[in-house]
Chains A and B, each alone.
Chain A
């Protein structure tokens, strides 16, 4: 019925890109670390696991800065 409702994964991509959008305006040396740090601090393991799944499938829809930050995002332990 509601047309623009996003799936869980789409929402996750959207949120990650929103974070990247904020840090994109920050001083250049803080951008990528800022994204990784933010996700490490506030995203629980399940969300980070999904994020890595999306990245491993090619990172469709994710901003390049999120992909770059992925190296510094903590990988959650296996569930």
Chain B
């Protein structure tokens, strides 16, 4: 058991070609020019006393503890704000410095609670610093003016502020605050929210949130950066106050979004005391959001199911059974069904929330154990068009950059993504770059926060009608080609020139001009022209996109349109540029990499390739089917039709997350054995015959691959509450089906992946231990991984330009359904909410709300917070409305975090032409006032209650 201690260098690292050499306390040290003396000293092993500095934010020089003496210079400058210079000689400890520091600390301590519990715990640096500077007395006492206690009755109250415990995760005790402003700087520089400020002057100055509000009511997004920065106990996790300080810690990877932040899980025994972002984490660089930092409580929530359960019919109550009984039941049912209905009547779904190793095993179970290719994954409903589009144009199905790349971007184009809510830590890194002067283009039907947020304003916001991405992107290309803004040298060298010319003549057609596209998209032509010129000529241009691109009937076409733009302008193959899909779930990238699609083996190799199959056939000792298997929607179709009967679903809630809930329900109902392997009795489990309890990311070893292709370690910090990690359960199932799997640790599974997949050939747990993380491809050619792809040329050889004709979706507005519904995510909640709804995060978002423009609301007699009925051609649901101008007239928007809302009851069965990724982002709807939940919602609620009954176990005989 050890504690991961990170060195705090006091001020951020500086990049410079020039170095300077100086002497500190007799030691010679060489650092990049511009480095502070404080940091230089730390690099030489000397820790200068400090309170108001850390290496995440710029130095401020307020605490006056870090003073040093420099030979030949007068005074005692602060080492945090004084740059190291060539040839100077610095002393960090002299009699004079010691006296000043003791004087400063004595004043601080005269206004610090004598019984500070945080000091006692070791979570407050005040007592430690007093000791470090040798403070032995306090001549002032605490009777004078102070911030420690309310003023006596009748006296003017200026200094004392009440404890603020409004935030569910941390407390702010102003009595312990020394107004060093580290929290203010962390909120500004790291998070970019600017929620905190120093109010008042001199002795009256206090840290306040918002307009002197409680934290919860302020703009604070609860990312935790201030808590982490606070050198005293003023800002402290409530968990630390309750449980005391952790005694050991382990570095692991967050299991929420595709950013894949590294955290230190700080523990006491088997309990998590807190999650602290890890500075060496290359995705997050020491930053976090409210989900990863605080919302881990679901892992120990009482709703977790810890024992396997089975039932004959889905109308029966559940019956708890032993693991052995569950395995043999599943094995005999799957065997029976295959015998009765054919080998292809069963399949599996891998999870984007589970590890690479677990995902690999599920597809192996399907291919080797079931003998078919009926395996799919939740990426079907999110990023499958990314796979198709980028493979076609570039040759590989992945984002091209690492997140560090954004630090070198000059123009960032964000389309169909809402990073401040969906990918908050990346958003903070992006905002930091934008505050430094990079330009921003946003293409989104909604005015997302990024369009205008403190010290950031988009140069262009193109508020297009949902469903017109392809038209707008092709119009951007039209401007770039017609105005000669493309990078001819790049295209001639890296791409097929004939294909480029064919594409160029296509985009020049009059129907692709901004003026023509204005009619369909509603985006003024001059905005399209301006945005195209900025992207093509503004320097390093980077495109970031999300599900607002993929979840359309032309999702794959849109991805290819994005790739075309990047290639035409030469924005591929170096830091600062690229095409970057922001992945929804922690391991979407990984689950796709691991062969979760029914037509592909791991590493994106088509199932029809004989050489690829041969590798696995010899290793697994079976003949593999060379035909593609069923995709999720095909499985459901086949089930309704009667030819598909059994499904093993690991960590996905298809009933809630897939389109057209009724169709999903009908498909599941038609099956004879649905096995759900999950943490909770999710919505899909309402239709399940077998429930296998799952384990959380805290309970297992493995790897996640984030949106940058970065393979990060997940490390076990506690025993699985259900007894087994998910990979062990899949292995037991395979064994019950007669397969001789004998993995004893996930590292052995990774070894098999590396041995069979060229892009993973160099990946081992030992390498991950040594490097922290690597980005695939990682093999002989790139032994330490590949931060930026397509550097010298494209993976497929020449980059391929593809014509992208705009085809309007068949989901059209009309008199009955005059509004367009689009959907998205909110910061505090995650996906279908199964995890975040089981944490305190619900204080930020109790229910899904329908955003509607004041014009549309008034026409319908809808007031803010009214219940409204949302009706589409597919179905109807009810929720409350919120009136806002973030959405344009004619567009409404909601999130899908709560099962009661059942937003997918209204989404349609239209899908991407290439991948069947559902068209979540466009549904024609009508909105009308209503009294409350619809009949379907009430019926469904009743069904949920019924189907979640767990029968009492009879006494064993």
Where the two chains meet, the residues of A that have a C-beta atom closer than 8 Å to any C-beta of B are 1-6, 8, 11, 15, 18-19, 21-22, 24-27, 38, 40-47, 76, 79
Tell me, rounded to whole Å, the shortest Cβ–Cβ distance linking B156 to chain A: 68
Residue ID in chain A nearest B637 by CB atoms: A8
Confirm or deny: B515 has a beta carbon within 8 angstroms of a beta carbon on chain A.
no
Given contacts A18-B553, A43-B628, contact A6 B606 (CB under 8 A): no
Q: Please count how many residues in chain B sit with their CB below 8 Å of the partner chain's CB atoms.
A: 40
B913 and A41 form a contact (CB under 8 A): no
16 contacts between A and B (CB under 8 A): A4-B874, A5-B874, A8-B641, A11-B909, A15-B916, A19-B913, A19-B914, A22-B914, A24-B805, A27-B803, A40-B608, A41-B628, A44-B374, A44-B627, A44-B630, A46-B643
B630 touches A8 (CB 8 A): no
Please tell me which one of the listed residues B627, B662, B913 contacts residue A2 in the complex, with CB atoms under 8 A apart: B662
**Residues of chain B with a CB closer than 8 A to A43's CB:** 628
6 closest A-B pairs (Cβ-Cβ)? A25-B805, A18-B913, A4-B873, A8-B637, A44-B628, A45-B627
When chains A and B are docked, how far (Å) is the Cα of A38 from the Cα of B916?
13
Q: Mark B327-355, 1 if CB is under 8 A from A, else 0.
A: 00000000000000010100000000000
List chain A residues, Cβ under 8 A from B914: 19, 22, 38, 42
A21 nearest in chain B by CB position? B807
| A11 CB contact (under 8 Å) in B637, B807, B915 | B637
What residues of chain B lie closer than 8 Å to A38, measured between beta carbons?
Answer: 914
CB A45 to nearest CB in B, in angstroms, measures 5
Cα separation A70 to B723 with both chains bound (whole Å): 52
CA of A47 to CA of B641 in the docked complex: distance in angstroms?
12
1/0 per residue, CB under 8 A from A, across B914-928: the answer is 111000000000000
| Assembled-state Cα–Cα distance A30/B873 (Å) | 36
Interface string of B800-811 (1 = CB under 8 A from A): 001111010000
Expressed in whole angstroms, the Cα–Cα distance for A1 and B628 within the complex equals: 34
| Residues A79 and B342 in contact, CB atoms below 8 Å apart | yes
Option from B630, B802, B807, B915 in Cβ contact (under 8 Å) with A46: B630
Q: Nearest B residue to A45 by beta-carbon distance?
A: B627
- What's the least CB distance linking A58 to chain B, in Å? 21
Closest approach, in angstroms, between the C-beta of A47 and any C-beta of chain B?
6
Chain B residues positioned under 8 Å from A22 (CB to CB):
557, 805, 807, 913-914
Query: Chain B interface secondary structure, helix, strand, loop or mixed?
Result: loop
B637 / chain A contacts, CB cutoff of 8 Å = 8, 11
Q: How far, in angstroms, from A21 to B808 measured CA to CA in the complex?
A: 11
Which residue on A lies nearest to B913, using beta carbons? A18
Contact B641 A6 (CB under 8 A): no
Closest to A79 in B: B342
Tell me, rounded to whole Å, the shortest Cβ–Cβ distance linking B509 to chain A. Answer: 10
Let me know if B913 and A21 touch, CB within 8 A. yes
Chain A residues whose C-beta falls within 8 Å of the C-beta of B373 in the assembled complex: 44
Mask of B342-373 contacts with A, CB within 8 angstroms, 1/0:
10100000000000000000000000000001
Residues 633-688 of B contacting A (Cβ, < 8 Å): 634, 637-638, 640-641, 643, 662-663
Contact across chains for A44 and B662 when beta carbons are under 8 A apart = no
Can you name 5 extra interface pairs (CB under 8 A) apart from A42-B599, A47-B634?
A2-B875, A5-B663, A22-B805, A42-B631, A44-B374
CB-CB under 8 A from B344, the residues of chain A are: 44-46
Partner of B608, one of A1, A19, A41: A41
Residues of B within 8 A of A15 (CB): 911, 913, 916
Q: Which residues of A contact B502 (CB under 8 A)?
A: 27
Q: Which residues of B contact A1 (CB under 8 A)?
A: 662, 875
Contact in complex: A76, B627 (CB < 8 Å):
yes
Shortest beta-carbon distance from A22 to chain B in Å = 5
Chain A residues closer than 8 Å to B913, beta-carbon distance: 15, 18-19, 21-22
Residue of B nearest to A11 (CB): B637
Question: With a CB–CB cut-off of 8 A, which chain B residues contact A24?
Answer: 805
C-alpha gap A4/B871 in the complex (Å): 13
Contact A25 B630 (CB under 8 A): no
Query: B874 contacts which of A2, A42, A46, A76 (Cβ < 8 Å)?
Result: A2
Q: Does B746 make an interface contact (CB < 8 A)?
A: no
